[in-house]
Chain A
């Protein structure tokens, strides 16, 4: 067993890593199948897979929601971070109030409030768009803080150096602050992108037929709870895992560069 430990002194071979990973995976699989064994659950994939089209369309809708909310939330975050840092105090406070209220309340509550205040009279065609917008406002508040923290992590000495060589304020942002901030912003931002994908599932309460709603529907037709949700789990992981792995790799890179 000793060879399965990483004591930080020896380098660990690829085989050892693969073996350890397989063991961990087997452990998870064992726990899950054990649980289902005690439930004496009868797996019935056939009826669920018969609704593959519903799943596929739901998955595409989730992809679309995330695809819309991703750039939109970045825009919200950028505008809000800029407002927060502006010298015009009412604007700065407005951004702060928006960010803190949004971060301090559950997304589900926000979805309902936005919906009952603004969305009720919307026709069905606009639901998708409205849902993406609500999601963008929510995630944008977090992204705003990520961007602000990144910008503020660039120290005063860098501003001094920038001013001393004769840069204007926009030039300091463009050539000094942003290139350094982006390295610190990217890893948490990528993590936030994964959250956008996951949080879009809550939009199912608006009746937007995204991935989670599709699973619920199939479930109500077939009563195959686990089959539906296993599919959903895999469907979300396909989207989020690459992002999370990418996050880890850029974290490693930015560490080497500074």
Chain B
């Protein structure tokens, strides 16, 4: 994917969450946003996902500016897969039902076809045995894996992960990170917001450090972690990697 941002600004009332964010990330497969809470990384991801409309600025994906009109956004969202921190799944549907619903109602697949795709995807994530369970009967890690399965079942052009492991214990975290790594090896494009620094360093082609609504610094993962250029990023990494 090729992602460029130009002067993206978003306010919540008086509070400016994104402050004229501009960046050209070039051609890449995986982009990771890091930074302190409230720095704007989740909001930026939600703008990419077409869930928030920026007050000004443009976002281009693969050379095409995102049109923030209602109809265009609907089309834009259809082509993406998004995984949130928690409560992704619809609690009244089984894991299978969660995956077939968008396939049938949004992507126009027949029920048989959708079930076939869903079972195949669940099988890939070792969830076939849990296909008929409701989210409440699954562990947190299984829920997130099922959410990822739902996101990739529609063959999205880009996957967006918004802190997908923040609500999980360490064991479930690694179980979910393993899935994301697998998707990376498969060559899928994704943008990830995370606090897992080790994983970010390992999986990212490029890392952007967001601080107070701006991209304070961005670059190849190794370079950013080994020699951060801005004092904010240096401080942040020093603080977070201390223990």
Contact = CB atoms under 8 A, between A and B. Distances in A.
A160 B105 CA distance: 17
Contacts, number: 55
Contacts of A2: none
Nearest to B106: A166
Given A163-B51, A175-B101, A168 B88 contact: no
Interface string B72-90: 0010011010101011111
Contacts of A257: 92, 134
A157 B147 CA distance: 13
A160 B49 CA distance: 10
A93 B177 CA distance: 48
Contacts of A161: 84, 87-90
Given A167-B106, A171-B105, A157 B49 contact: no
A166 B74 contact: yes
A180 interface: yes
Query: DSSP class of B's interface residues: helix, strand, loop or mixed?
Result: loop
Given A157-B87, A179-B92, A164 B82 contact: yes
Interface size grouping (class) on chain B: 20 to 34
A155 B134 CA distance: 18
Interface string A141-172: 00000000000000101101101111110010
Contacts of B49: 164
Given A165-B102, A165-B150, A180 B78 contact: no
Interface in B61-120: 74, 77-78, 80, 82, 84, 86-92, 101-102, 105-107
A164 B102 CA distance: 10
Contacts of B51: 160, 163-164
25 contacts: A157-B86, A157-B88, A158-B87, A160-B51, A160-B84, A161-B84, A161-B87, A161-B88, A163-B51, A164-B84, A165-B77, A165-B101, A165-B102, A165-B106, A166-B107, A167-B105, A167-B106, A168-B74, A171-B105, A175-B90, A176-B90, A179-B90, A183-B92, A257-B134, A258-B91
Given A157-B86, A180-B92, 11 more contacts: A158-B87, A160-B51, A161-B90, A163-B77, A164-B82, A165-B101, A165-B154, A166-B78, A180-B90, A257-B134, A258-B91
Interface of A: 155, 157-158, 160-161, 163-168, 171, 175-176, 179-180, 183, 257-258
